[in-house]
Amino acid sequence: MVLNKEKHITLVCICLHTVCAFSPQVITIDLRSTQFCGGLGITLPENVDVSTKNKTSGSELPYVKMLNRVLPQDIRILDWAPVAEGFSARFDCQSRTYRYYFPRGCLDVALMADAAKRYEGTHDFRNICKMDVGNGVLQFERTILSASVKPAQHVSGENEYDLFIFEIKGLAFLYHQVRCMMALLLMIGQKLEAPEIIDQLLDVQTNPRKPQYSMAVDYPLVLYECHFEGLNWQQENEEVNLVLSTLQQHWTQSAVKAHLLQGMIQGLEAIGGASSNHCWLVEGTRQRNYKPLLERPCCESLESRINHFVKRGRLEREEGENGGEMVHRGKRSKHSHSSPGLPDPSDVLTSKNTADHNAEV
């Protein structure tokens, strides 16, 4: 085996947390290979003998097993696939699907489902995200392929403990975009806002500045699926079975704890306890007197944020070819000291007409 051969592969890994969130993450790394005759993603040293290149190769290294033996217990590799040099797990992703789990509680889930459809299409989401202007994100149009609210499993009746899912699929997402989208749906589900508030916030000509509101909490949000074209994923059944066993253990513990808590709640209600209608999925404390979104103070405008970071040296202005203005990262940007030979794709000049691929964080 030649140890200095490299193979460019992409991996699917799963994060096993105490909340049992299934989050498939895709990463790309270079690893050694046993393939003497080359192949997709394999880089051979220039001084390799011709007879070595023509030598029949054996089976590939058990990447999944090898990596799982050195990773923390709450991170597991599931699959791997060879990819061409230059493949980017971030920028070659065709679409991403997020899921946000929530209980019915006192929410009007039918109203939330109707409102979620208003996200579909291409819109300017500057009022439904956290503007990351300091890192060069100046364009806020994103395309949402589908958005829905549905039961997590079959439900009968209207039990307040039934779980539902807000599922959203898009080409790319802005910083905290999904959590802001969910926050609006929770307001609508509580009938604090009408579904039309989404259309109003997407109309940046009428409402160019984001009203101040809290995001939904982060723990129910998972990256559910990343879609790539043309990848040949390789599985190792033994490792999949080990991950499955771990998940079953997590589920058993969490399911028992959930039913114990539900029993305690029902016991207190049976002796006269009054349940709170408070929504526990929004950051911060609930206002005693709710103030409609469009009557609240607004955040800074996009132009104001740009001027702020230009003054600090994080962004720089330049005149474009057609007399337009170009804004890009300045010398004081916290990302301006990247390692040589590893360019950051988001360092490319950014104008108001270019697209960004920042994902929800």
Interval 213-232: pLDDT, tens: 999 999 999 999 889 988 88
For the record, the structure tokens of 122 come out as 């291409």
Helix %, strand %, coil % of the chain (to 5): 25, 25, 50
For residue 66, the 8-state DSSP code is: H
pLDDT at residue number 52: 58
pLDDT at residue number 164: 96
Distance CA 32, CA 7 (A): 6
Kindly state the average pLDDT of the residues 120-139: 93
* Kind and range of the H or E run holding 245: helix 237-270
Q: Tell me the pTM.
A: 0.83
Residues of the chain with CATH 3.30.70.660: 95-224+281-295
* Region label for 50, one of left (φ > 0), alpha (ψ between -120 and 50) or beta (otherwise): alpha
At 320, the pLDDT band (50, 70, 90 cuts) reads low
pLDDT at residue number 5: 47
User: Does the pLDDT of residue 339 top 90, yes or no?
Assistant: no
Q: Is 314 exposed, middle or buried (0-12, 13-18, 19+ CB in 10 A)?
A: buried
pLDDT at residue number 286: 74
Report the top-level CATH class of 95-224+281-295: alpha beta
pLDDT at residue number 20: 38
User: Does the pLDDT of residue 144 top 60, yes or no?
Assistant: yes
Q: Contact 187/253 with Cβ under 8 angstroms?
A: no
At 332, the pLDDT band (50, 70, 90 cuts) reads low
Q: What are phi and psi of 169, to 5 degrees?
A: -120, 130
- Please provide the average confidence, as pLDDT, over all residues in the chain: 82
Q: Which of 24-38, 127-141, 289-303 has the lowest mean pLDDT?
A: 24-38
Top mean pLDDT of 73-87, 88-102, 183-197, 312-326 is at: 183-197
Interval 239-280: pLDDT, tens: 999 989 988 999 999 999 999 999 999 999 999 988 888 889
Interval 163-174: pLDDT, tens: 999 999 999 999
